Structure 1
Amino acid sequence: MIPATFDYVRPATIDEAVAALADAGEDAGQDVKAIAGGQSLMPLLRLRLAYPEVLVDLDRIEALREIRDDGDAIVIGATATHHQVLHDPLVGEHLPLIARATATVADPAVRHRGTFGGSLAHADPAGDLPAVALALDAVLHVRSARGEREIPAAEFFVDWMTSALEPDELLVAVRVPKLAGPGWGVHYEKFHRTAQAWAVVGVACAVRRVNGAVEDARVALTNMGPAPVRASAVERFAEGRTISRDAFRAAGEHAAAGTDPPADLHGSSQYRAHLAKVLTARALTAAAGG
């Protein structure tokens, strides 16, 4: 299909982009969207599931691509591509869970165009990176003509394809705390029916091992509700346990607690709940080396 007619703006700076969002939304009352790699938005435009009147292209804004060390965290620019994130040495050293999950996103062609911030702002519960951001307690930095604000990942994902971003706000960067201290292991376990497909269920997991036991566990689930889900019951059960496959299988039994898995052509709610338990046990085992 062909997208509906829209006006096109291509700013060169963050300030120009923010001004364009404000001008279209507040002054003209138009529906406006920002586009970076376009790997999520373009299919919606073509299917006319999204039909903004103004499209603000962020591709020229170099400042949005920066990845930098910020002391106890790594700051990833919103339009850094998946390929850039996957091969960045800072991400590889301090945020290996992001690198692991990014490697599973679609295919190389999509990873060369799709962006880290775009995946988060799109807020698809079947996307891989929202659950990772949730597990790592990421903070999303947004800007508008009204000022700047920081939104914790736990508050950013509101509902299916809905984030806490206001129409005139632009996601500019994501600050992700480093996994501090020795003993951390990470894993992203994903089940999908075909190569490059969305996850039927995914599990983002980070485990800190101390003296053969789990000192800290971070677990978040992909596609187990209208937004990514922090598996708090799994974390509570796993922490303090001696590392073993049996312990992680028992922890995995809590994975579906508090979730609302969808039912679709790829599986029923009950099937997803079962998958979440199995995949969580696998992810914990792989992350902890148990």
Structure 2
Amino acid sequence: MDAHDPRPPDDFGLSVKDLAVGYGPVAALRGISLRVPRGSIVTVLGGNGAGKSTLLRAISGTLGFHRGGVTAGEIRFDGARLSGTAASAVVAAGVVQVPEGRRVFARMTVEENLRAGALGARDRRAAAEARERVLTLFPVLAERARQRAGLLSGGEQQMLAIGRALMARPRMLLLDEPTLGLAPMMAARIADTVREINEQGTTVLLVEQNAAAALSLASSAYVLEVGEVVLSGPAAELARSDEVRRRYLGVEDGEPAGPAPGNDRRAVPASPRPNLARWSA
């Protein structure tokens, strides 16, 4: 997918063009352009400090909470400008972020956390439908409804964080490291749920350090390094790249990549493996 596709932005769910972000005098993102088509899963890969979380904060309008700000470029969702708007307006537009580290309200119950996700909803019937959807996706949350969120396991807290975001009935979900710190089996369950949420019609922009899982879920991928996009393209093509395999999949040249967690049918193919000119020696 070409970030400079000539089609107008409103042909896409999300369009980011020439975005620059700074934290005071420190430039965190430079010239970022990407597009996330409606109904797709797009992933952003990169090491620690690459700017992945900053990108999601810029989209969700939460940079100000971290003393950052957009210094150039624009962000649009379904043709409407998001850059420069308040976080509440971004949510109202249908874009909701699940932050890294889950960040549930630990002293509140599971049920109270879910209700907090629907605070802006005026339609009680829609809120009830959203709750039913969440509990269908995550039945354990129904069992733990009266339990304090801080007493849940890490995987259950991640389910609650995603469920709370879904209570706002987003058209687009921003996921920041949803499998971070989880056991492999739980990480696989979260990945399967992300796929199911997308199949139900929600567009997903996924930031994930588990590159194998992310590339197996996504249709397209972008790679960030030190605040810049160094590579973008179809996820399957990036998964076959020698450079991506070495840097993010831990696979040496000539070795087959193992299957992504919870997704044995879509193991990353071993060949052909294109070289990435941007990273050539």
TM-score w.r.t. the length of structure 2 is: 0.28
TM-score w.r.t. the length of structure 1 is: 0.27
